[in-house]
């Protein structure tokens, strides 16, 4: 096979004992379709189609470590043993079709107790109470300046932090039982960990605030408890907001310092995103141009000698291949493009000249599509296709 015929996008990647079949990753995507934290048939079909479509690593959505770590009533969670079986069923399916199942554990911090995207993240009010759970008081490192009266916000004290770390540990152990093979800590997008990191949202004067190392303490403690509970042979990812926003206070230098510390603590891949914290600033978001986080992934990869994942408006096979060939990242994550085309991997395989692009799909599809391709090459079809072009 020539250089061109062996695209990097379709080369496997070994992380600890786990071999991803290719570099196409399904980025975490909240679905707001869970019932009391548990995934449903929606998730089996939603995630299952990406495994059938040929992705190497399939992340489910941000999954709350405790009920109050959800954003909405419909968010995913893994705070109870009863959730484990439902995730295992999905993971068994993903593995059966050659994909590696990943979980993103998270806590919404003070971005919780609200309605979902379709209702513009409005805060839940007492009238929205469900039988199991009233709108809850949210937690964070500090009460944000100029906070609205609802949802109520509580600054975490040392006991709350200790209890929270325990929840991360328990959810990690459940992730093992559920058969996940990759775990990502959600440290981005203005949720709890990012709220501790950014000086916009962390005004503490104790050991969890102040200078960069004080603000990183919570993120690093979460990483330590998770790494300790997550089997040594399985890879750990961490999603960062590489910058709060354009000209943000948390910047790429802070991210590089954080990534160094995460690597020392056993994080294998830094997943580079941005944004989520703005507070009362009018900081603009990072402009949404194709591959808008790739520069951050490259910088972290080279300055910290750690594997990185690039995400953000990567839609085209050649674009993805160029990112890998330029050694800007080791993995390519896609979200919205995969929603539109869950079989993106096999289309990418064709664009990049893989000798049998249908091999990326299950054989029951590949067999039929190869036949269709052969039929299209028949002389009579060549004639009619020429006529159509005239």
Ligand X SMILES: Cc1cc2nc3c(=O)[nH]c(=O)nc-3n(C[C@H](O)[C@H](O)[C@H](O)COP(=O)(O)O)c2cc1C
Residue 335 binding ligand X, by CB under 6 A = yes
CB of 126 to ligand X, least distance (A): 27
| Joined tokens for residue 255 | 């991210």
CB nearer ligand X, residue 8 or residue 194: 194
Q: Binding residue for ligand X (CB under 6 A) from 22, 104, 198, 274?
A: 104
Is 337 a residue that touches ligand X (CB under 6 A)? yes
The window from 125-133, 333-341, 346-354, 361-369 that contacts ligand X (CB under 6 A) reads 333-341
Binding of ligand X at residue 342 (CB under 6 A)? Answer: no
Q: Which is nearer to ligand X, 15 or 334 (CB)?
A: 334
Task: Draw the binding track, 251-280, toward ligand X (x: CB under 6 A; -: no contact).
Answer: ----------------------x-------
Question: Of the listed 191, 208, 292, 296, which one is catalytic?
Answer: 191
Contacts of 201 (CB under 8 A, 6+ apart): 110, 140, 141, 142, 144, 190, 194, 195, 277, 279
Candidate list 8, 20, 54, 62; residue touching ligand X; CB under 6 A? 62
Q: Which of 186, 215, 227, 298 binds ligand X (CB under 6 A)?
A: 186
CB of 68 to ligand X, least distance (A): 17
Per CB under 6 A, 223 contacts ligand X: no
User: Does 311 help bind ligand X (rule: CB under 6 A)?
Assistant: yes
Kindly state the number of chain residues that form the binding site for ligand X, as judged by CB under 6 A: 20
Binding residue (CB under 6 A) for ligand X from 119, 336, 368, 371: 336
**Residue 102, interface with ligand X (CB under 6 A)?**
no
Site membership for ligand X, residue 334 (CB under 6 A): yes
Q: Tokens 């990690």 — which residue?
A: 172
| Euclidean distance between CA atoms 146 and 327, whole angstroms | 43
Asked if residues 108 and 71 have their Cβ atoms less than 8 Å apart, the reply is: yes
Q: Is 191 part of the annotated catalytic residue set?
A: yes
Q: Is 195 in the site for ligand X (CB under 6 A)?
A: no
Strands 18-20 and 13-15, bridge-based pairing: antiparallel
Among 24, 25, 30, 99, binds ligand X (CB under 6 A): 30
Per CB under 6 A, the segment of 35-43, 208-216, 309-317, 342-350 that binds ligand X is 309-317
Looking at 9, 39, 50, 61, which residue binds ligand X (CB under 6 A)?
Answer: 61
Closest separation between CB of residue 363 and ligand X, Å?
A: 28
For 331, counting Cβ atoms within 10 Å of its Cβ (0-12 exposed, 13-18 middle, 19+ buried), the class is buried
Query: What residues make contact with ligand X under the rule CB under 6 A?
Result: 27-30, 61-62, 104, 186, 188-189, 239, 273, 311-314, 334-337
Give the residue numbers annotated as catalytic, written as ranges.
191
């Amino acid at each position: 096979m020539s250089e061109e015929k062996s695209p990097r996008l379709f080369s496997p990647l070994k992380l600890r004992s786990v071999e991803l079949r290719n570099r196409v990753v399904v980025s975490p995507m909240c679905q707001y379709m869970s019932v009391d934290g548990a995934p449903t048939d929606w998730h089996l079909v939603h995630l299952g189609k990406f495994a059938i479509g040929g992705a190497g690593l399939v992340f489910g959505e941000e999954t709350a470590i405790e009920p109050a770590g959800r954003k909405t009533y419909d968010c995913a969670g893994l705070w109870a043993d009863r959730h484990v079986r439902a995730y295992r069923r999905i993971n068994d399916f993903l593995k059966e079709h050659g994909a590696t199942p990943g979980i993103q554990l998270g806590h919404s911090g003070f971005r919780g107790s609200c309605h979902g995207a379709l209702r513009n993240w409005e805060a839940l009010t007492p009238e929205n109470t469900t039988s199991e759970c009233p709108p809850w008081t949210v937690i964070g490192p500090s009460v944000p300046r100029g906070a609205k009266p609802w949802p109520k916000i509580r600054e975490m004290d040392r006991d709350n932090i200790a209890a929270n770390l325990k929840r991360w540990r328990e959810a990690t152990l459940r992730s093992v039982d559920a058969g996940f093979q990759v775990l990502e800590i959600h440290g981005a997008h203005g949720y709890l960990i990012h709220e501790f990191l950014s000086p916009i949202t962390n005004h503490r004067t104790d050991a969890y605030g102040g200078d960069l190392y004080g603000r990183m303490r919570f993120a690093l403690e979460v990483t330590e408890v998770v790494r300790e509970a997550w089997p040594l042979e399985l890879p750990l990812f961490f999603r960062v907001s590489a910058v709060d926003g354009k000209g943000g206070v948390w910047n790429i230098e802070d991210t590089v310092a954080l990534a160094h510390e995460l690597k020392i603590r056993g994080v294998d891949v830094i997943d580079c995103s941005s944004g989520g914290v703005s507070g009362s600033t009018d900081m603009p978001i990072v402009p949404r141009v194709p591959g808008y986080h790739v520069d951050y992934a490259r910088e972290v990869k080279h300055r910290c000698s750690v594997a990185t994942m690039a995400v953000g408006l990567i839609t085209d096979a050649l674009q993805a291949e160029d990112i890998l060939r330029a050694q800007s990242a080791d993995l390519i994550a896609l979200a919205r493009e995969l929603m539109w085309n869950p079989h993106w991997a096999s289309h990418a395989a064709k664009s990049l000249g893989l000798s049998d692009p249908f091999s990326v799909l299950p054989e029951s599809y590949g067999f039929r599509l190869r036949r269709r391709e052969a039929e299209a090459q028949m002389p009579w079809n060549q004639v009619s296709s020429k006529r159509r072009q005239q």
